[in-house]
Amino acid sequence: MKKILAGLILAAVSLSSFADDYDKILARLNTLDQLPNTTLFSLGKNDQNRDIMGIIVGDESRAKTKHVVVGTHHGNERAAAEVPVFFAELVIQSYDPSVLYYIIPVLNISGYNVYRRGETGADGKVHDSNRDYEDACTTKQDFVLKSTALIAELIEREDVVTAVSVHGYVGTFTYPWGTEARNYATEDDAFFSEWAKKAVKINNYKIGTHGAAIYPATGAFEDWAYYKLGVWSFLLEIKSPSSDLKRDAQSLVEFFKNSPSERSLKVGQQVNCMDRILKSLGNSRP
Ligand SMILES: [Zn+2]
């Protein structure tokens, strides 16, 4: 309890010295860091030389399975920063030493601070972070942004099994494919669907593939993690304006309870891509 109070006081004291919105996220991460089984960590420095911070819930030496929850690829989707923080609070409360979570509430710091979807790159231009990953259906330049390269490195290096990327505001919980494919069903489609159904019993979100349930887009995080590494990767689109963010976080807790302990074996499976003209349209969609 003393530790919790210390964290709250620390957060309150620093309230007056917030330089920007991301500082408020950092204060909340510092508060979580006062709780047991947590470690504050930096993913690395982004293109503005700013540390992308997250919280680890778990013990490296004991955990058998590692997962990722990453929020706010799109800086204007504000609730996408909240759900990962609520999720961290819940998994700290119901601590399971066999599992470790890397939780990063805000990947796109420059966008978050100005309520903008895109992220500023080293070239000074604004890029869509969730179109910056390697994709089975395009030959575009990948990993222009440091933030996306850094989270990709973490997932690869730490052998992450399951990942959820949090966005807003469609009210869906979806799985690959999302790229410009003729057929969105992967070889794991039945498994993805059954798993997703259990998670959305809590928030009643619509499930399906990203491409069918939302819209197709090339270069997204979720397709990359699954296609390249076999990571079980899901996209949580928080519903607005009526969503209960704590319930969304609870649905993620249930979701991870049902995670396999190993990645999918269907790595690098063939994707039935649309033709090149349609593919380039994918990058300009909202
Ligand atoms: Zn988004």
Confidence of residue 8 (pLDDT cuts 50, 70, 90): low
| Environment of ion ligand 1 (residues, CB < 5 A) | 74, 77, 167
Q: How many angstroms is it from 14 CA to the middle of ligand 1? A: 30
Which residue matches tokens 């309520």? 115
Distance 117 CA to ligand 1 centre (A): 7
CA 240 to ligand 1 center in whole angstroms: 12
Tell me how far the alpha carbon of residue 243 is from its chain's centroid: 18
Domains of the chain: 35-282 (3.40.630.10)
Distance 39 CA to ligand 1 centre (A): 27
CA 265–ligand 1 middle distance (angstroms):
28
Cα of 235 vs centre of ligand 1, distance in Å, is 9
Tell how far the Cα of 77 is from the centroid of ligand 1, in angstroms: 6
Residue type at 279?
A: K
CB within 8 Å of 5: residues ≥ 6 apart: none
What's the predicted TM-score (pTM) here?
0.91
How far away, in angstroms, is 13 Cα from ligand 1 center?
32
Q: How far is the CA of 64 from the centre of ligand 1 (A)?
A: 31
Instruction: Say how many Å lie between the CA of residue 166 and the centre of ligand 1.
Output: 8
Report pLDDT for 16: 57
- Structure token digits, residue 85: 């923080």
Residue-wise pLDDT tens digits, 122-179:
999 999 999 999 999 988 899 999 999 999 999 999 999 999 999 999 999 999 999 9
Proportion of the chain in helix, strand, coil states, percent, rounded to 5? 40, 20, 40
pLDDT of residue 10: 53
Q: Quote the Cα angle for 276-277-282, to 5°.
A: 90
